[in-house]
Amino acid sequence: MKISSLLAIAAATLLLQGNALAQEESQSSNESTINQSEVKPAQSERKDIDDEITNKKLRAELGSKSKWSIRTALSYSGGSVERPMDKVRPNYRDSAATEVDVRSVASVALKYRVTDRDSIGLGTGLKVKKPFHGSMEDATSRSRNFSVSNPYIDYTRPYRVNDIQMYTTAILTGYTSAFDVDVVGGRGDVTLVQVMMKEFGKLSAGLTLQATGFVYSDSEQTYLDRGVRSPRPDVMLGAFPVAEYSFTDRLSARTVFGYFSYDKLRTSPNFEAGVPYQSLGLGVSITRDVYLYPNVQFVPNDIRAERTNVALSANINIL
């Protein structure tokens, strides 16, 4: 065979081998790209906690699913059923003759969602006495009735165990209000909350467990020497059953049983039971992050119009 023919065959062979190698490298590169694209979304995908927590009230209490958000919880304690717009209301857990100011209490927190489940909130308490009463020109009175105090930090984790929806919250509060610091002599408290809810079709039943321990800056005798009538609690425990019936996806009947609350006073080694109470109202889910609960509050063994109060609680999350 001629040398020129051999050279032609060798050149063709090298060319074919080069094309084969190029195709293998291209396929290897494509496979690597496909594998990376398949893995990356799986690593960055966030789970939706709403797949586990389906109760509308619990979702609103947990706050927004955004990385950063504002979480608020509002409660308004109004007048009696007889005089709902009055500026005073009966202390329904004490006696109808004992009246206290109508007030609105709220907590406002900046919430940071650390993981798919865990979140941390940094907030403070707000209180407004007689928010819908008094002259608009009376700026001094309005400012005296408004206070921002008692900052807190909380940690919350929602989860599901079988068919039971749950979340656990730990709250550390430092007292800054004049009443809590100067009159009560308090420094702060630690609160643990465990919420559980199970759905049975349209009916849901649940339980909230709460324990609070208090820290004070002085002795009990020093506190009593200031002329305050009520001893201070060391620990407060409560178990609050809840029942709901859903009429629609956004509207439900809701009741909370405050039958099991106990205080351990600093002057006694025993726990004392509080006066049982109950709330009954409508749960209204405006959106996933806005939930309203207009209700009435009463003592179940002494139901009277003059001893039954109107109230409103709301969970409103922003962002």
pLDDT tens, position by position, 50-64: 999 999 999 999 999
Question: Whole-angstrom Cα distance, residue 300 to residue 302?
Answer: 6
Q: 246 vs 6, which has greater pLDDT?
A: 246
Banded pLDDT at 135 (limits 50, 70, 90): low
Q: 269-289 pLDDT, tens per residue? A: 999 999 999 999 999 999 999
Banded pLDDT at 195 (limits 50, 70, 90): very high
Tell me what the mean pLDDT of segment 163-192 comes to: 96
Q: How many residues does the chain have?
A: 319
Q: What is the DSSP letter of 305?
A: G
| Lowest mean pLDDT segment, chosen from 28-42, 100-114, 120-134, 268-282 | 28-42
Q: 264 vs 18, which has greater pLDDT?
A: 264
**What does the pLDDT read at residue 27?**
45
Coil/strand/helix, residue 224: helix
Tell me what the mean pLDDT of segment 232-261 comes to: 97
> Cβ contacts of residue 53 below 8 Å, gap of 6+?
59, 62, 158, 160, 165, 167
Residue corresponding to tokens 């199970």:
198
Question: Whole-angstrom Cα distance, residue 176 to residue 10?
Answer: 91
Tell me what the mean pLDDT of segment 23-35 comes to: 45
Question: Whole-angstrom Cα distance, residue 71 to residue 156?
Answer: 12
**What does the pLDDT read at residue 18?**
45
**What does the pLDDT read at residue 134?**
64
Q: 292-312 pLDDT, tens per residue? A: 999 999 999 889 888 899 999
| Lowest mean pLDDT segment, chosen from 36-40, 77-81, 181-185, 206-210 | 36-40
Mean pLDDT score across all residues of the chain: 85
| Lowest mean pLDDT segment, chosen from 126-140, 168-182, 202-216, 251-265 | 126-140
Q: Tell me what percent of the residues of the chain surpass a pLDDT of 90.
A: 64
Q: Supply the pTM of this predicted model.
A: 0.81
Coil/strand/helix, residue 128: strand
Q: 141-155 pLDDT, tens per residue? A: 555 688 999 999 999
**What does the pLDDT read at residue 129?**
87
**What does the pLDDT read at residue 45?**
56
**Cβ 127 vs Cβ 108: under 8 Å:** no
**What does the pLDDT read at residue 259?**
96
> Cβ contacts of residue 241 below 8 Å, gap of 6+?
205, 206, 207, 256, 257, 259
**What does the pLDDT read at residue 36?**
47
Question: Whole-angstrom Cα distance, residue 146 to residue 122?
Answer: 20
**What does the pLDDT read at residue 30?**
46
Among 199, 195, 108, smallest CA distance to 156 is for 195
Domain formed by 51-318, architecture: Beta Barrel (2.40)
- Please say if the pLDDT value at position 31 is more than 50: no
Q: Put residue 244 in one of left, alpha, beta given phi > 0 → left and psi -120 to 50 → alpha.
A: beta
Q: 302 vs 42, which has greater pLDDT?
A: 302
Q: How many CB atoms lie within 10 A of CB 248?
A: 8
For residue 60, what are its two tokens? 């609103």
> Cβ contacts of residue 315 below 8 Å, gap of 6+?
57, 60, 61, 71, 72, 73, 74, 289, 290, 291
**What does the pLDDT read at residue 97?**
56
Q: Which residues of 42-51 are buried (b: 16+ CB within 10 A; e: fewer)?
A: eeeeeeebee
- Please say if the pLDDT value at position 193 is more than 50: yes
**What does the pLDDT read at residue 120?**
98
